[in-house]
Amino acid sequence: MRRRDVFGLMALASAGPLATAASAASAATNAALLPSALDAAGQLRALPMDGPADGFHWRRVAEGVQFRVDSLTKAVLFYGPGLVRITAHLGAAHTAQPSLVVVAKPRP
């Protein structure tokens, strides 16, 4: 078995039905302590990150992970075991209205 296959199996086990209730409860507690990557309209907002403005930076957020490469902000938000939303922008959302397509909230 190749190394990448082992990591893929571990990711499936941690996100699928093999995950324990205790790990789900601790994930919910950790998510409550983390900042949200979404604004009031559900649009991605760029959170401050440590380090110089250029280069690669990342941080955990309540819905998943947000990272920045130079001035491009990206986020991987988890809406459930089988649904992931990947977004990117240059640091500011240009709408104040909620999405007409994405109507669910991310789950920790």
At 64-106, the pLDDT tens digits run: 999 998 888 899 999 888 889 888 888 777 776 776 667 677 7
Count: domains in the chain: 1
User: By three-state DSSP, how is residue 98 classified?
Assistant: coil
Residue 104 lies inside a defined structural domain of this protein: no
pTM of the model: 0.60
Query: 71: domain range?
Result: 3-89
Contacts of residue 19, defined as CB under 8 A and 6 or more positions apart, other chains included, come to 13
At 45-70, the pLDDT tens digits run: 888 888 777 889 999 999 999 999 88
Residue 102 lies inside a defined structural domain of this protein: no
Contacts of residue 59, defined as CB under 8 A and 6 or more positions apart, other chains included, come to 47, 49, 65, 66, 67
